[in-house]
Structure 1
Amino acid sequence: MIRKRPTLRRLVAVAAAGGLLALPGCTSAATTDAPAAADTFVVATANEPEALNPVLNYGVDGASLIFDGLVARDAENRLVPALARDLPVVAPDGRTVTAVLRDGVLFHDGSTLTAQDVAFTYRAVLDPKVDSTLRSDLDMLESVEAPDASTVVFRLRYAYAPFLQRLALGVVPAKALTGQDINKAEFNRRPVGTGPYRVESWTPGDRLVLAANERYFAGRPTNSRLVVAFVADDNVRAQRMRAGEFDVAELAPKLAAGFDGNTGYRVERVPTADYRGVMLPMGNPVTADPAIRRALTLAVDRTAMVTGILGGAGEPAYGPVPPTSEFAEPSVAGRPTADPTAATALLDAAGWAPGPDGTRVKDGRPARLTLMYPASDSLRKELALAVTADAKKVGIQVTPEGLTWDAIDPRLNTDALLMGYGTPYDPDFVSYKLFGSRFAGQGYFNPGHYRSPVVDQALQAGRDQADPALRKAAYATFQKQLATDVPWLFLTYLKHTYVLKSSVQGAQPRVEPHEHDVANSLWWNIHTWTRK
């Protein structure tokens, strides 16, 4: 696989953080524009996509606003038909899946959706010439065929229980990308989809402007335009929300709490499967020591983080499978509060003796490590500082360092990193690539080069098995081994916090994954929103 920066970690132009957005309805020191039209919504998020092409990882779980998949998810995250007329049918052996398309669905350019477009989309993901990080997600897909204009047949190498969930991927028009280098196509910035909105303009580092799709198969959106503002800095985003520039903004929990009690706003605290944790690289001789990793997981006070940093908008985390999942293994739950006595005993037994300055030493090597975090993310900064303070109490010296992502990239195998991932969908999603040995060092997939034959076998068994009981057993083994090895120091699950103007109506919170920028945010159904 070509090493590329996966869109699981979006990049933004940092220079835009302090800029003012010249939008209809924005009011700031730099603009006196007229009030926004009633049918225009302006939303603000921290992260910006690198491309607007589902084949290149945009909105892969659906709710992308620009594209539709064969299936979608409702407010309860249940699968419902989208471009498919009904939910696709799985053959008794689990290895053939057939979908029949709705009649009369049009792309934004007026062309008709056909089964060939669906087949092209999935074949493009599987094409090794295309830099799609989704390819490994579709290891089970042997072929996709379009026997006629409305029928799509997926043939699998093995039965894969959550395959229908993979069909939320947005469908692209074959004619727009056939014969092109998809990695560099103009389509990636000016896409054509079937979704409720079409792209009107995209100003990198600033905003994405979407216009209503008048011919949307599910009905014309209730509003005519959507503006997505990209504002990397949390504090700047909060200031501009308070200035009235946005109808809704994603904010860090403490910043969102500042709007509680203000009659002009309301705060939505949305449940998620989104966790924060410290990736501990195996290429660093300190973090490679199991005793250091296990001591850290005993030393951190997760309850204090949830209460003090998240303002109660979250819960302690002990692994990558959320406690709300049917696959969660309860035995891996550790201590919600710190246990420095147990941590120091473990370090003593492993030969990490206290040094003259309080920092432990083993074989002449001090227990020191750098903890990187993205400088613009105030929440990760606070978590990094909390880890630093807790580690110091047991003799481990952590130096937090806020950096740009470009500065973080080359140091992934040597320095710890405050990371975030998580999915409310199947446990195969994310974890297979994040902890599997075959992905070690592939960008932000297993960046710490963690390798475990037990984990590899369990993750593969979870993919291969169709029987729910066997899958649950496989993921229990995975979670137990991860808790033993501690390649990550899991800290908290978050509630995503959004501030909305009180005039906004129609928002339907649902359990969110880690990624929640343009796609999969509170505004997943914004095409149905109205104002009072």
Structure 2
Amino acid sequence: MPNEMTNRRSALLAGAGLMGAGLLRPGPRGQAWAQAAAVGEGDIYGPDDPQARRGGVLTIAIANEPPNLDPFHQAGDARTAITVLMYQGLMFEHASGTAKPLLAESMTVSADGLTYTFVLRRGVRFHNGGQMTSADVKYSYDYVRNPANGSPGAADFGTISEVEAPDDHTVVIRLSEPNASLPMTLTNRFGCVVPRDTFSSPQARNRLSQQSVGTGPFMLQEFRPQSHIRMARFPNYWRQGQPYLDGVLFSVQPNAASVLVALRGRRVDLALLARPQDAEQLQGQAGLSIVSAPSLRQCSLDLDSSHAQLKDQRVRQAIALAIDKKAVMDAAIGGKGQVLGTVPAAMQESWGAPLESLPFQKQDPARAKALLAEAGLASGFSLDLIGIIGFEWMDPAAVTIAQQLAAVGIRLNIQRAELGVWLNAFRTRNMRFTFNDWGTQPDPHSLFYRHFRSPPRGADFRNWNNAEADRLMDLGMASADPARRKEAYLGLQRVMDETVPTILLFSPDLVTVSQQRVRNYVQHPTGWWFGLAKAWIAA
């Protein structure tokens, strides 16, 4: 097959327009509203393909290896991207922005929005052979929502007051206050279901990098750090006939260049390019297909509001005004993406505030200098900028940002940290001034709440502690009305723009490259590997 470049930007953005509608719609007073699994079930994990054949193993190149495969305690996207194939929640984060039933067959919401009743799918088995019941769901969600258990997702479940299991196939979740984003919370990032008592052993967390216990289409065979992650088809998967592949092998590559070499040499079948501009080097390569799409990823700078000079809002504003985001994107990814304001690219149309309405999103060095002078820093100062080893876009971005900040008197000392070290600083809210690279589920509550809401309801990783932002996030969470939700999140973005806890730089295009034999793989806008559940290999 000759090389082809397919751009699905317009199609995906059209689908993203559904995000504003959300899953939860208020019905007439006094009535509940239900979501049935039958509607759109066929496109869970991607489209069905009537020509699909069973067999074969696909090899996928990855440049960023997860520190471990624990779906409850490991927060990094490098983990989530892979464990979505092994673990599932009651719901699925569909690319349209709706949460669709997955391990649940249906969901019913009470008229007051405080009680969610789920009917579970029957015949679901765990990788250890056990059959899933409501007791497993209750155990899983009670575990993750208990802060003492140390899950980064605990705050996501903070509005849950009780999880009940009245019979083997029914789960009732009661809330202390309305939470329109609960269905999205019960998806794959931290909302997976595992067998009850999974964590009763002190060694349980370590074992999750050796043996999976989920319900997903693939089960873990081997995790060899700095080499590969091997998964096999789960023969008792509840979706009969799927997955089509016998297995998948994630091959860990040392850098982006080695990914290209592996693709050219046909040593790997599929890769999501860490540097989308690298697709240009593959143009004209026979047998390769290149697909580009907008993403829910954001490459950003985080500003710890408790760190050094960053405690002063004027300093954070000055940094924002000193940066030319387009120049950073050009240096980092060859311009193959979209400059951001306050939400990722695939959410801009539905949830994003217009960039022209956000005064700190445009470069203005003169005003940046004036703000630094007001803060008593007219002579400038030095600041460390932390990048993450293995995230190759950060190195050229750091050089460009250092040049831009030097022009207003801020001298950067560029440092690099291993991903595990960086994640520990993230969890302990010791972020300082750092690059970040993360995806989100297609919902504004999922994007903002855990990251920016003050404790104990959120984690506020950047030590922002902004009362008005807290109020707006609470309002957005509680509102079932899409218009009211959007107004709350637009207000939040205006607060974020003015107070600068983070600077979203750009969303890189999701560029997927595959060999000719790979069929029916569709890239999810999160960048996670959902599509392998329905991919197949042509003879």
Normalising by structure 1, what TM-score? 0.80
Letter of the 2:232 partner, please give it: A
Correspondence 1:9-24 to 2 at 5 A: none
Aligned to 1:85: 105
- Residue among 515, 528, 536 paired with 1:529: 536
- CA drift at 1:64: 0.9
Q: Distance in 1 between matches of 2:491 and 2:348?
A: 18
1:201-236, Cα deviation, whole Å (9 max, x unpaired): 222332111111223221232111111123353333
Q: Distance in 2 between matches of 1:352 and 1:178?
A: 51
3-state SS, counterpart of residue 56 of structure 1: coil
Correspondence 1:448-467 to 2 at 5 A: 448-467=462-481
Q: Distance in 1 between matches of 2:276 and 2:129?
A: 43
Aligned to 2:73: 56
Compare relative contact order (CA 8 Å, sep 6+) and give the higher one, 1 or 2: 2
Aligned to 2:87: 67
Maintained 8 Å contact 1:272/1:424: no
Aligned to 2:364: 339
- Segment of structure 1 superposing worse, 404-413 or 298-307: 404-413
Q: Distance in 1 between matches of 2:83 and 2:110?
A: 27
**CA spacing shift, 1:78–1:182, aligned 2, 3 Å:** farther
**CA spacing shift, 1:188–1:119, aligned 2, 3 Å:** farther
- CA drift at 1:139: 0.6
User: Are positions 1:380 and 2:399 aligned together?
Assistant: no
Q: Distance in 2 between matches of 1:284 and 1:83?
A: 43
User: Are positions 1:298 and 2:317 aligned together?
Assistant: no
- CA drift at 1:285: 3.4
Q: Distance in 2 between matches of 1:378 and 1:68?
A: 30
Maintained 8 Å contact 1:257/1:267: no
Letter of the 1:170 partner, please give it: C
Q: Paired residues, what number?
A: 473
- Segment of structure 1 superposing worse, 145-154 or 266-275: 266-275
Aligned to 1:357: none
- Segment of structure 1 superposing worse, 476-485 or 279-288: 279-288
1:262-299, Cα deviation, whole Å (9 max, x unpaired): 22322232311211222223344333333332222222
Aligned to 1:97: 116
Normalising by structure 2, what TM-score? 0.79
Maintained 8 Å contact 1:106/1:217: yes
Q: Distance in 2 between matches of 1:137 and 1:254?
A: 35
**CA spacing shift, 1:476–1:213, aligned 2, 3 Å:** same
Aligned to 1:327: 351
Instruction: Structure 2 unaligned segments of length 5 or more: list them.
Output: 1-53
Letter of the 2:311 partner, please give it: A
- CA drift at 1:259: 1.3
- Segment of structure 1 superposing worse, 201-210 or 51-60: 51-60
Maintained 8 Å contact 2:321/2:368: yes
- Residue among 242, 248, 256 paired with 1:234: 256
Q: Distance in 2 between matches of 1:187 and 1:402?
A: 28
Aligned to 2:294: 271
- CA drift at 1:302: 1.5
Maintained 8 Å contact 1:282/1:413: no
Q: Distance in 2 between matches of 1:106 and 1:324?
A: 38
**CA spacing shift, 1:149–1:271, aligned 2, 3 Å:** same
Q: Distance in 2 between matches of 1:430 and 1:78?
A: 14
Q: Distance in 2 between matches of 1:253 and 1:63?
A: 23
Q: Distance in 1 between matches of 2:357 and 2:441?
A: 18
Q: Distance in 2 between matches of 1:450 and 1:335?
A: 17
Maintained 8 Å contact 2:342/2:353: no
User: Are positions 1:186 and 2:207 aligned together?
Assistant: yes
1:169-202, Cα deviation, whole Å (9 max, x unpaired): 3211226x27434764634531222211122222
**CA spacing shift, 1:269–1:158, aligned 2, 3 Å:** same
**CA spacing shift, 1:261–1:308, aligned 2, 3 Å:** farther
3-state SS, counterpart of residue 319 of structure 2: helix
- CA drift at 1:90: 0.9
- CA drift at 1:407: 5.6
3-state SS, counterpart of residue 413 of structure 2: strand
Maintained 8 Å contact 1:146/1:152: yes
3-state SS, counterpart of residue 202 of structure 1: strand
3-state SS, counterpart of residue 54 of structure 1: coil
Q: Distance in 2 between matches of 1:62 and 1:158?
A: 33
In terms of fraction of residues, the more helix-rich structure is 2
Maintained 8 Å contact 1:318/1:491: yes
Letter of the 2:154 partner, please give it: R
3-state SS, counterpart of residue 378 of structure 1: coil
Q: Distance in 2 between matches of 1:102 and 1:426?
A: 25
Aligned to 1:119: 138
- CA drift at 1:342: 3.6
**CA spacing shift, 1:332–1:381, aligned 2, 3 Å:** farther
Aligned to 2:434: 417
Instruction: Structure 1 unaligned segments of length 5 or more: list them.
Output: 1-36, 354-360
Letter of the 2:245 partner, please give it: N
Letter of the 1:329 partner, please give it: A
